[in-house]
Amino acid sequence: MLVLIGLAVAGALGFNSRLRASSAWKATVTPLSSIMGSGFLVSAPLVASVTGPWAPLAMGGLLLMAFALGAMIRFNIRYAESLLAEAGDEEASEEASDEEASDEDASALATLEHRLHAGHALRTMAHWAAPRTLAARTEQLSHLVLAAAYVVSVSYYLQLLSAFVLDRFGLHDPLYNRVATSGVLVVITVIGGLWGLRALEKVETYAVSLNLGTIVALLVGLLLYAGSQVYQGSFALPRAPSEVDPLRSLRVMMGLLIVVQGFETSRFLGEEHSVEERVRTMRNAQLIASGIYLTFVTLMLPLLQGDLQAEVTAVVRLVAPVAAVLPVLIVIAAVGSQFSASVADDAGCAGLLGTIFGDRLSPRWSYLGIGLCAIALTWLTDVVSVISLASRAFALFYALQCAVTAITAYTNEGARHRRLYLVGGALCSLLALAVTLFGIPAE
């Protein structure tokens, strides 16, 4: 029955022509698939390993933080983008003026060299202090950070993919995981460097549908299992960890931000969707994902018994009592979602590098650099520690985006609730910076 449910949902989403033609659905499914693919399957075991029966509350706190960060990015979509575009136009105009000035008589300029130099310095300082310029530079810096975060996430997704596949064969040695991950990275890098990743990106549509279908089947199975446990009187919550360190638990939860990350993709869909559509669909994607995460973690509680370890593939073993077919479905969904997510982030990173460096960096070299860095990260980390590393990298991006929010709210007097976003942007920036500095991996 669960297989039929999963196939029915996947088919309805993947082959429904009206949905595939809907602009709102496309704008919703992009951030939704990114959030759900970031770590849905690993969330319950990892959160429960440090919080026990309080896992739903801990996950709720993580989702609340993600929603607050998403609100700041939605403000940027609505108000900061136009400000940044104007700053870019002004900068281009100033560069053109500087080029015209350089063509003037050199001897005449020499007599005023010192005075012009001092004036230029003052203008430069004032220009950098201007809110528009400061917001634009912060935005540019955030793009560099995001490119680095994408490299980390590519390694993370493929390490997770390898872990799920190898787990089915009983192979848990980190060496096997690194070899398998490196092999997939080499293939993606070669394809990207020679032909681009456009063909592989087409897999994403069907992988997303399969992933969502599997999630629905999993939730239905867990709901039926929990209901049977209640009916039989054997329903039990997991025990709290024997040794609880609240500060360490908080830092571990900070290091799990990556599992609810992905909503920021709406920020970069401006060429395909309007401002209001991106704001609305991004909020909807976060609300849908939050509901699914909280339901999943809550329904997993009866299965989270004993001393849980921070195992990313633990969900495969834990759901076996629910239905014999679920472990197989989960592995298939994990392979599809993690592969498509890694391809999307690889292509996104190459696109960002192209925007930042322009013609100075060809796509071929971009893909090669991304692949080499991701392979290096694969051999320097393991699948648990790379989760924390990816979380901290994205947290730094969010910190910079929240700083853009605060600067924009300070500048734009016509923005709705500007004082709220001025304070909220500053506080969220500090919160994201704290995640960057203090997030640690689960052990």
pLDDT of residue 121: 41
Q: Minimum mean pLDDT among 277-281, 309-313, 433-437: which range?
A: 309-313
Q: Residues 315-344: pLDDT tens digits?
A: 888 888 888 888 888 888 888 888 888 888
Picking from 339, 362, 403, 400, the residue whose alpha carbon sits closest to that of residue 183 is 339
- Assess contact for 181 and 155: CB atoms under 8 A: yes
Classify domain 2-93+132-438 by CATH number. Answer: 1.20.1740.10
Half-sphere exposure in the Cβ direction for 128 (13 Å, CA): 5
d(CA 12, CA 26): 15
Q: What is the pLDDT of residue 226?
A: 86
Residue with tokens 């077919």: 325
CA distance 263 to 248: 27
- Token pair 């605060």 in the structure block, residue: 406
Amino acid at 160: L
pLDDT digits (tens, 9 = 90+) for 249-271: 889 899 889 889 889 888 888 77
pLDDT given at position 87: 59
What pLDDT band is residue 277 in, cutting at 50, 70 and 90?
very high
Short-list 406, 405, 404, 402, CA closest to 428: 402
Average confidence score pLDDT of the chain: 83
Taking residues 81-86, what's their average pLDDT?
Answer: 76
Q: What is the pTM assigned to this prediction?
A: 0.86
Chain Cα centroid distance, residue 268: 13
3-state secondary structure of 147: helix
Share of the chain above pLDDT 90, in %: 33
Q: Are 19 and 219 in contact (CB under 8 A)?
A: no
pLDDT in tens, 177-221: 999 999 999 999 988 888 777 766 666 667 778 888 888 888 999
Higher pLDDT, 7 or 348: 348
The confidence score (pLDDT) of residue 310 equals 65
Q: 396: which residues sit within 8 A by CB, 6+ positions away?
A: 145, 149, 432, 433, 436
So what's the pLDDT on residue 126?
42
Mean pLDDT in residue range 353-376: 87
